[in-house]
Amino acid sequence: MADVKTETPTGAPPRRRGVEDPGFGPKRRLTSGGIVALVVKVVLLGIIDALAVFGLYVLIGKGDWVAAAVLLAVVALVNYIYLRPGILPGKYLTPGLFFLAIFQVFVIFYTGYISFTNYGDQHNSTKEDAVSQIIRTSQERVPDSPAYAVEIYRQADQYGMFVSEPGGDTAFGTNEQPLEEASGAPDGWERLNLNQILRFQDEVLALNVQVTDDVNDGTLRTQDGSTAFVFTSTLEYDEAADTFTDTESGVVYSDDGEGNFRAEDGTTLTPGWRVVIGWENYAYAFTNEQIRDPLIRVVIWTFAFAFFSTFLCFALGLFLAIVFNHPTLRGKKFYRILVILPYAFPVYLTGLVWAGMLNEEFGFINEVLFGGANIPWLSDPWLARLSVLVVNMWLGYAYMFLVCTGALQSLPDDVIEAAKMDGAGAWRIFRSIKLPLLFVAVAPLLIATFAFNFNNFPVIFMLTGGNPRFTDTTLPIGSTDIMITMVYKIAFGSGGGRDYGLASALSILIFIIVAIIAAISFRQTKSLEDLH
Amino acid sequence: MATGLADVTSKPEKPVGSHRRQPFGKWFVDKGWRHLVGVAAIVFALLPLAYILSASLNPAGTLTGSNQLFRAISFVNYENILTRDGGIYLTWYWNALVIAVVSSAATVLLCAMGAYAFSRMRFRGRRTGLLALLILQMFPQLLMIVAIFLTMIWITDVFPAIGLGTHAGLIMVYLGGALGVNTFLMYGFFNTIPTAIDEAAKIDGAGHARVFFTIMLPLVTPVLAVIGLLSFIGFIGEFAIASVLLTDPRDQTLAIGLFQLVSGFQSQNWGIFAAGAVLAAIPVMVLFLLLQRYIAGGLIAGSVK
């Protein structure tokens, strides 16, 4: 359809002054613009294709065939859209849709997937990685093991160890490759001198070369880059049985199907690995007392915060809009500019500045306005909630003020005149005429503001950080946390470990709530009717 | 409905015969109380701003020392914040500016292209596309932060240059949310430009790119400015996603840096934080004041549509 409307000029053929390439009809040209457009297009596509080739090379090298296929398909589609004449909407929408598809649509589904896994600090890799990690972290030096003289070699970012065994044999090995007999380091490897050993100390310390193919035989490690000792794990991994056995106590740890090696008494080895655990995160959120009760409080507060924030900002904004909306008020312009200044102040600073002003011991509010009182603005749960609301009102009323001022000024004069004629007083006119008309205009905005405040991360995070902490849970959440700050803290908080699975499950729960709000507001405002 | 928007802050109405003396009581009921409210509102609006400006100028530099407004004036805090850790503050400043400028410019371009397609072309899936954008914008990216973080880890394996810890990666993530939020405002504005204009150009032989860049974009400059400015303000203050993706202190932005400055040692670092905050706020506020007329107009146009 688009082609008909936009590519072929209706009526006269395009043989007018100022047309480039008069000999070519638009259908046959590579681009509808001039030579500049063609060059830009070719260069941009060239960059994209070059990157894609590089990406394909890496992906195939890693054996990630699915990703490689997806990348190939996407790049082919992009080339098709831009090289073929026509498909005009595609040419304009593709760049935006590309980012939207990855960082908005794909990540929604990915969030859903993660919410069914145990992904987190304790389970952040594959089972293979977990096994080798467990072996490496449980290593101890073998008592009375002989000292091996070693030299450290390097190639690119790989490190290797050339070992002279006490018996006189020499061998070479790396982190990936167990010791193999060799008379010297392979070609291309460069020996580190003392300075370099000091400089790459971390890498040298992390060098961990298996003595034989079997990891249970132990590995060579060096502290100083010149002598190495054999280290073996106190835990022995049995590949056939898929179990770890503690060589000292004899305890057997086996795969519990939930991403851990677990002993019969319930103790687990760390780290575990990533597995799909089904509905467990959701079940945890709904049934575990540690989280269910705090979660309910957080949800209620999230709604209360969003509602009261929207209401307070709207009330103050509307009030000020009415106050300054007087035809002959002097200094009106001056008032209006100064009053919207909070809206221009960066949000993240607002929270931090107010946090300082509301500080219980040294803050401006207590020290100056309340004459040295010690009012716990941010450490008492209810006062903290009040503070959050007031600060958010400071931040948000200017927006409502602007919107209401505009809406008030565009109210039809004739209706108000008619009401005056009929003898209505100022209050009556406001309540029965102005306010309803105003609501029609700002109702969609109020819903949008509610939805915005529902996920208003910076105010909460910068002002209180969600504190004061709940005392009845080990999760790092508190009285002023709304759902989004809770998700952030569970996923990336410092205390209590990161739990991506649980955080994603909570994100999905917020999705559902937001979707319900959205559905209701759609029905209410019928904003879809505008889509013609 | 959108006619009154130019009035928001400019164009004072001409007083009509109001210079006659009124009795005080009548004046107060009509206008006087409005001045009282106005003064109270200004105090409420400006007190935190005056406070932080005063704290930044106070050489004491602590929270307690900052309570007497404008008692002492010195620029020692500014000197300290600028020289701290080898001038890391300026690095943060630069990072924040680069990220915000590039992201908002790209946002404006992507949105304008999207709005142009939706407004001027008729194609299959257009309605569905608009509806999908409307719904997607309800889910802020912050909600997907875990998945974004893990996706970026994966991208780092393949394209380290645009992966975790890079500004390019962060900008890409921001662009993912660009289309949904702003395309609607632009779409509404594009629809107000008569199609006769671009159709005439097409009849004269202009290609679609020429129509878009040389005819449409100049006509919709006000809405481009509004969206550019609002997204600039949004990006320069974005904390959560940036704090997750940018781990090296040298790569971080003002929001993260200033947060870390006071999150642990609020009382001691207050003076230099205040100086940093003032320096961070000034460009945004100046820009805002210069363009506030358009912002007010844009917000109202968006609301009343």
Largest interatomic CA distance in chain B: 78
- Per-residue pLDDT, averaged over A289-318, amounts to 92
- Asked if the model's pLDDT at residue A504 lies above 60, the reply is yes
> How high is the pLDDT of residue A480?
93
The structure's pTM equals: 0.80
- Asked if the model's pLDDT at residue A457 lies above 80, the reply is yes
- Asked if the model's pLDDT at residue A31 lies above 60, the reply is no
> How high is the pLDDT of residue B266?
63
Q: How many CB pairs under 8 A join A and B?
A: 368
> How high is the pLDDT of residue A530?
53
Residue A89 has its nearest CB partner, among B16, B111, B117, at B117
CA distance B140 to chain A (A): 8
- Per-residue pLDDT, averaged over A395-423, amounts to 86
- The low-confidence residues of chain B, meaning pLDDT below 70, are 1-22, 181, 264-267, 296-305
CA distance A151 to chain B (A): 31
| Contact residues for A370 (Cβ-Cβ < 8 A; gap 6+) | none
**Interface check B35 vs A, CB under 8 A:** yes
Lowest-confidence region among A20-29, A131-140, A430-439, B235-244: A20-29
> How high is the pLDDT of residue A524?
67
Return d(Cα B252, Cα B239) in angstroms, integer. 10
* Residue A362 contacts residue A402 (beta carbons within 8 Å): no
Average pLDDT over chain A, rounded to an integer: 82
pLDDT tens digits, A97-137: 999 999 999 999 999 999 998 888 777 777 777 787 777 77
> How high is the pLDDT of residue A1?
36
Return d(Cα A118, Cα A256) in angstroms, integer. 13
Strand A139-141 to A243-246 pairing: unpaired
**Cβ–Cβ gap A10/B159 under 8 Å:** no
**Cβ–Cβ gap B143/A111 under 8 Å:** yes
Here the tokens at position A404 are 């209401």
Residue B205 φ then ψ, to 5°: 100, 5
From chain B, the residues in CB contact with A461 under 8 A are 239-240
Return d(Cα B299, Cα B9) in angstroms, integer. 13
- Per-residue pLDDT, averaged over A299-305, amounts to 94
Residues 120-139 of B with CB under 8 A from A: 120-124, 126-127, 129-131, 134-136, 138-139
CA distance A422 to chain B (A): 21
> How high is the pLDDT of residue B210?
83
User: What is the DSSP code (8-state) at residue A268?
Assistant: B
CA distance B86 to chain A (A): 23
**Cβ–Cβ gap A410/B113 under 8 Å:** no
- Per-residue pLDDT, averaged over A219-239, amounts to 81
Return d(Cα B69, Cα B86) in angstroms, integer. 30
* Residue A103 contacts residue B177 (beta carbons within 8 Å): yes
- Asked if the model's pLDDT at residue A281 lies above 80, the reply is yes
**Cβ–Cβ gap B255/A444 under 8 Å:** no
| Contact residues for A418 (Cβ-Cβ < 8 A; gap 6+) | none
Residue of A nearest to B212 (CA): A92
> How high is the pLDDT of residue A525?
63
* Residue A148 contacts residue A220 (beta carbons within 8 Å): yes
**Cβ–Cβ gap A528/B300 under 8 Å:** no
| Contact residues for A152 (Cβ-Cβ < 8 A; gap 6+) | A159, A160, A161, A162, A191, A192, A197, A204, A207, A222, A225
Residues 285-304 of B with CB under 8 A from A: 285, 288-289, 292, 295-297, 299-300, 303-304
| Contact residues for B75 (Cβ-Cβ < 8 A; gap 6+) | B57
pLDDT tens digits, A63-83: 888 889 999 999 999 998 888
> How high is the pLDDT of residue A121?
75
**Cβ–Cβ gap A349/B136 under 8 Å:** no
**Cα-Cα-Cα-Cα dihedral sign, residues B54, B56, B62, B63:** positive
Return d(Cα A506, Cα A511) in angstroms, integer. 9
Exposed (0-12), middle (13-18) or buried (19+): which is A148, by Cβ within 10 Å?
buried
pLDDT tens digits, A246-264: 777 778 888 877 778 887 7
- Strand segments (E) across A380-477: none
Return d(Cα B246, Cα B239) in angstroms, integer. 10
Return d(Cα B179, Cα A22) in angstroms, integer. 37
Q: At what angle do helices B33-57 and A381-409 cross, to 10 degrees?
A: 120
**Cβ–Cβ gap A9/B45 under 8 Å:** no
CA distance A512 to chain B (A): 10
> How high is the pLDDT of residue B2?
37
CA distance B44 to chain A (A): 8
**Cβ–Cβ gap B143/A455 under 8 Å:** yes
Which has more confidence, A412 or A323? A323
- Asked if the model's pLDDT at residue A463 lies above 80, the reply is yes
pLDDT band at A496 (very low <50, low <70, confident <90, very high): low
**Cβ–Cβ gap B233/A346 under 8 Å:** yes
Return d(Cα B109, Cα A46) in angstroms, integer. 21
